[in-house]
């Protein structure tokens, strides 16, 4: 397999668009590589390779979406607190 083909395959795997056969191939390749590497490479090399492979795995999805969701929740919480404060405060002046 050429470098470009391998890169495309890994991109599809990371993006979740790989077929089941392609996923199985990538996972088998990773497992066989990991098993071969553990007996012949130094601890630093194994850690570097593992970090490199993990850096290509998908991270948290939609981090911008989560950021805006938190902001919306904060604003909603503030509005609820202000509404409760307003009704409690206005109730004290009615009597």
Place of tokens 């979740």: 16
How does residue 81 score in pLDDT terms, banded at 50, 70 and 90? very high
Residue 75, pLDDT score: 96
The whole model's pTM is what? Answer: 0.36
* Closest to 82 (Cα-Cα) out of 90, 94, 93: 90
Residue 95, pLDDT score: 53
CA distance 88 to 13: 56
pLDDT digits (tens, 9 = 90+) for 11-61: 888 888 888 998 888 888 877 766 555 556 667 777 887 788 777 766 665
Retrieve residue 86's tokens: 């307003």
Mean pLDDT of 73-92: 90
């Amino acid at each position: 397999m050429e470098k470009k083909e391998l890169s495309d395959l890994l991109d599809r795997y990371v993006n979740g668009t790989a077929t089941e056969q392609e996923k199985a191939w990538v996972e088998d390749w990773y497992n066989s590589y990991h098993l071969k590497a553990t007996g012949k490479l130094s601890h630093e090399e194994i850690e570097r390779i593992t970090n490199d492979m993990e850096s290509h795995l998908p991270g948290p999805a939609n981090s911008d979406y989560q950021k805006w969701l938190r902001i919306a929740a904060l604003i909603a919480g503030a509005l609820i607190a202000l509404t409760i404060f307003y009704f409690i405060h206005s109730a004290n002046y009615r009597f």
